[in-house]
Amino acid sequence: MDKFLNLLVSGAVSGAIYSLIASGLALTYATTGIFNLGFGGIAFTSAFVYFELHVGLHWGIVPAAVVTLVVVGPVLGWVLNKLILGRLSRASEAAKVMAVVGILIALPALGRWAVELLVQDAHFSIPLGDQVFATPGIGPSPVHVWHPFGGLTINSDQVIVFGVAAVLAVGLWVLLRHTRLGLTMRAATDRPELASLMGINRSSATAWAWIVGTTLACIAGIVGAPILNTLSPNAYTMAVFVATAAVVLGGFRSVPLAFAGGLILGVAQNLVAGYATFANHINGFNTSVPFIGLLLALAFLGRRRYRNRDRITGSMAEDTVVADLDAGHSVLRRTAGWLIPAALFFCYLYFVAGSYWLSVMTAGLALSVVFLSFVVVTGLGGMVSLAQATFVTAAGLTAGLLINQYHQPWLVGFVGGTAVAALLGVIVALPALRVGGLALSLATLALAFLGDGVLFQWNYLRGGDEGWIVLRPKFGSVDLMEDKTYASILLGVVLLVSWLIYNLTRSSSGRQMIALRASEPAAASSGISPSMVKLRLFTISAAIAGAGGVLLVTADQHATNVTYVTQVGLVWLASAVLWGVRKPLGAVLAGLTATVFPALLSSGFHLPSWIPGGLSWAGTHSTWLPQALFGLGAIAMAKNPNGIMGGGHKRRPRRAESPAPTPSTEPGPSRATAVPVTAMPRTVANGSGASLHLAQVSAGYGEHAVLTGIDLALTQGTITALVGANGAGKSTLCKTAAGLVMPTAGAIFLSGDDVTKAPAHRRAGRLLLAPEARGVFPSLSVEDNLAIRLPSAAQREAVYEKFPVLGERRRIAAGSLSGGEQQMLTMAPLLQRPPSVLIADEPTLGLAPRIVEQLLELFEQLRAQGTTLLLAEERARGILDIADQIVLLELGQLIWTGPRADLQDEQLAAIFLGSAQEAVAATRGSTEPTLA
C-alpha cells in the first residue's frame, strides 16, 4: 500500500507539472489557434532567469520570482506576439510549427549565450548553468518533508507544484469562460473576420492571449524546476511533449480537461513503471506511456470527427495557392535554372573546396535528399509530418544491420533501408486516414517518439551502444571513399529526386494530391480515393527520407539511434519551411544551409588576399549561438510564411483614382458601357447628409479588381436593397463598406466622417455587417454570442423574452442551431443595440418563409428606430417589398439607383437574365436614367 501511495503522490506531482503546461497550451490554442510547442523554451528560459537572479546574483525568492513573472513573462509574450506569433493566425500549419520550434530552440540558446557573454567577456561572477542538478524553486530550501501516515512521503516542493497548478487551472477556466477578455479572445480565434465586425480588436486580443500564456509558461518553469531537477532545455521540451497528450485528452481547448489529463498521465506513467513488470523487458516502454496515450486519444478524436463528418484533410488545405513563378517559362529556361547552378557547384566541389568544406558539402547534399521528402508530404500533400527523422534513423540502422550483421553489399542495405522507411511511412499514414491538421501532426510526433523510445532501443536493430559502421562502397573504378566522387554522386541524386518530384506534381497522381489538399470532399466526389492518395503521399515521402538517411549515414560512415532523433527532425522541418517547403530548390538550399551555417560559425571565414579589405572572422566556439541565430529564421518566416524561395508575395494594390469608363463596341451589358448614375439627391463630397457614403470607391482582392467607381449614398432611416446576380460584387461592396476589404480608390464616410482607412473593429460602433455565412461564432454558446454585442445581462434577457427559442438553447454551441435560429441569433441583439448603419449580406439565404417574414419585420422595426439598412440579396422578392430604394449592381458597377416604384418586376427579372441595361433603360418616370 505504501508503494502505491508514494507512486500515486509522485505521479500526481509530475502530472501537476504536465497539467500546468497542458493548461497553458490549451489556453493559447483556444485563443490564438496556434499550438505552442515553444512553451518548453519559454518555461526553461524563465527557470534559467530565476536561477541566475536567485543563485547567481543572490536575490531573495520573492524579488527574483516577481521580476521573472511580472516583467520577463509579460514582456517576452508581447515581444513574441509582435515579432512572430501575432502574424501567423492564418498561416499554414507548417509555418506555425516552424515558428514555435524556432522559439523552442532559440529562447534557451539566447539565454545561455547571454550568460556566456556576461561571464567570459564582462567577467560576471555568475554560474553558467551547465551542470545543475538541484534546481531551486519558490519553496523553502532545504525542503520540508512530511509523513502523513504509513510510509507516505510528501515534501514542500510537491505541495507547491500541485497547489499552484490547481489554482491556475481554475483561474484560467474563469478567465476564458467568465471574463470579457476571455470571451473576446475565444471569439477572435473562432471567426476572426466576424470578431472584427463585432468591434473586437483581434491584434489586442491575440497579444493578451500570448502575454497570459507566456506568463503561465514562466510559472510552470519556476515551480516545476525542483521536480524536473535540472536546467537542461531537453527536460522542459520533453515535459511539453508529454503534456501534449493531456491537451488532446482535453479536446485541445478545454483547460479543466487538459488539467485532468495531465494528472492522469503522470499517475499512469508512475503506476506502469511500478507495477507493469512485462515492460521491464521492453526498453523505453515506461517513458513512452504518454505517447501511447496520445495516439489513443487521437484515435478517439478521429472516430468522433468521422462520425460528425468534420473536415479531416491535410493541415494546409486552406492555404492560399502560391503562384508558380516558373509558369509560362520555356523548358530550356526552367532546366537552365537548375543545371547552371549545379554545374557551378560541381566545379566548386572538384576544383575549389578544401577537404573540410568538401565534407561539409557532402553532408549537406545527403541532408538535401532528406529535406526533399518534406516537399512531397507537406509542400505537395499539405500534411505536416514530424516523423521524418524516424524514417532516416530506421533506414540508417536497417542498412547498417544488413551490411554488418548479414554481410550484404551496400546496395542491398540501401534498398532495404529505403523499403523499411517506406513501410514505416505506411504505418505513420494510418492516422491521416482519420484525422488531419494539428491532430495529424501530433500523431506523427507520437509515433516518432515511440520509435526513439522503443523501436530504436532494440539492441539487435541499433547495433548496441556503438551503432553500425557503414563504409562507403566501391563500384568498379568508382570509389565513393573519395569525398569528391561521393559528393558528385550525391549532387546527381539531388538533381534526380528533384526532377522526379517536379514530374510528380504534373502527373495524374500529383494532381490528385493537389485536389485532396484543396478539398477532400470535393476530391472524393470526383472519384479520387483519399485513403489511397494519403498512403501514396506518406510512402513516397518516407522512401525519399529513408534513401536520404542511408546516404547520410554513408557520408558519416556511422549509424546510431541517437544521431537523428525526433527533436532534430523538428529542426529539419523548420529549416525546410524557412527556405520554402513547396519547391525542391528550397529543400536543397535548406539541406546545404543546415550543415554549412554551423560550420561557418565554428570555423569562421577568411576572404582571399586579393579581395580589398582582407575581411576575416575567426568564428565562435559557443554551442548556443548557432541555435540562437536559428530563431531569427522564425521572425523572417513570420513575414513570409511561404518561405524564402516560396514566392507568394502579393503586391499591395495602389490607391488611385478610378479610371474613367471607356466606350465599348460589345453589345449588351458590360462593365465598360455601364455608367454609375443615381436618381437620389447628390451629396457633397464628404458625404454630409448621408449615414453611409461610398464616394467613387474601387476595390478588389490583390490584383483582381471587383468594384469600380462605386458612388452610393444612404440616408438615415431607410432600407436600400442591393440587387445583382451572383458574382456582381455585392459581398465585396458589403465588406468594403465594413472595413474588411480596403478600397484601392475613393473614400468612405460614416455620417460625414472619413473612415476609409479605419479597420473594421473601429467602424463597428456605428456600422455593423451581418455576413453571408451567418453572423455567429459556431463554437461559442448562444449566451456568449449575445454577450459579444450585449454585455448587459438585462439586455440578453430581453432578447430571450422576444425569442424564447434562443433562451431554451442558451447553453449550447451556436453552430448546432438551425440556419433560421442562427440568423435569429445574428439579428436579435440589433433590437437592443441598434447600429447607425446595418449591412446584411444575403440575410434570407436558405431560410424558411416563416423565418423570412420575421426577419423582414425586424428590418422594418430597425428602420423605425432610425437605423439605415443596406440589404444585399440575389433573390430579392421579400426585400423589395420593404425597400425604399433599389441599387442595381452588375459586374462591379452601379448601373441604377432609384426608388422601388420606378423599377417594375419584369424589369427586375430581366436583370437576372443578363439584360440589365435594357431593363433599366425601360424604366418609367422623370427619374429615368440614361446610359452611355
pLDDT of 862-895, one tens digit each? 899 899 999 988 766 678 878 888 888 888 888 8
The strand pairing partners of 719, in sequence order, are: 869
pLDDT of 134-161, one tens digit each? 788 888 888 888 888 777 888 898 899 8
Question: Average pLDDT for residues 171-196, to the nearest whole number?
Answer: 87
By C-alpha distance, which of 358, 775, 694, 294 is closest to 555? 358
Grade residue 669 by pLDDT with cuts at 50, 70 and 90: very low
869, three cell numbers: 439598412
On the question of pLDDT at 321 being above 50, the answer is: no
pLDDT at 877: 66
pLDDT of 618-654, one tens digit each? 677 777 877 787 777 766 666 676 777 765 444 444 4
pLDDT at 926: 39
| 213 to 44, 67, 79, 105, 307: CA distances (angstroms) | 14, 17, 13, 18, 33
On the question of pLDDT at 417 being above 90, the answer is: yes
Identify the weakest region by mean pLDDT among 168-172, 677-681, 774-778.
677-681
pLDDT of 84-127, one tens digit each? 888 777 777 777 887 888 888 889 989 998 998 898 888 888 88
pLDDT at 337: 65
Question: Average pLDDT for residues 378-405, to the nearest whole number?
Answer: 93
| 700 to 387, 518, 748, 872: CA distances (angstroms) | 41, 23, 15, 18
| 13 to 228, 343, 537, 578, 689: CA distances (angstroms) | 11, 60, 42, 38, 67
Identify the weakest region by mean pLDDT among 359-368, 551-560, 769-778.
769-778
Question: Average pLDDT for residues 208-232, to the nearest whole number?
Answer: 89
On the question of pLDDT at 932 being above 70, the answer is: no
Cα distance between residue 103 and residue 34, in whole Å: 13
On the question of pLDDT at 44 being above 90, the answer is: yes
Grade residue 311 by pLDDT with cuts at 50, 70 and 90: very low
Grade residue 613 by pLDDT with cuts at 50, 70 and 90: low
Question: Average pLDDT for residues 149-178, to the nearest whole number?
Answer: 86
pLDDT at 486: 93
On the question of pLDDT at 317 being above 50, the answer is: no
On the question of pLDDT at 365 being above 90, the answer is: yes
pLDDT at 563: 92
Grade residue 900 by pLDDT with cuts at 50, 70 and 90: confident
Cis-peptide into 142, omega within 30 deg: yes
Name the packing angle between helices 566-579 and 388-404 (round to 10°): 120
167, three cell numbers: 489554482
Name the packing angle between helices 782-789 and 180-190 (round to 10°): 110
pLDDT at 612: 58
Could you identify the residue written with the cell 516518432?
Answer: 448
Q: pLDDT averaged over the chain?
A: 82
pLDDT of 807-819, one tens digit each? 888 899 988 888 8
Burial 343-371 (b: 16+ CB within 10 A, else e): eebeeebeeebeeebbbbbbbbbbbbbbb
Question: Average pLDDT for residues 216-243, to the nearest whole number?
Answer: 88
On the question of pLDDT at 784 being above 80, the answer is: yes
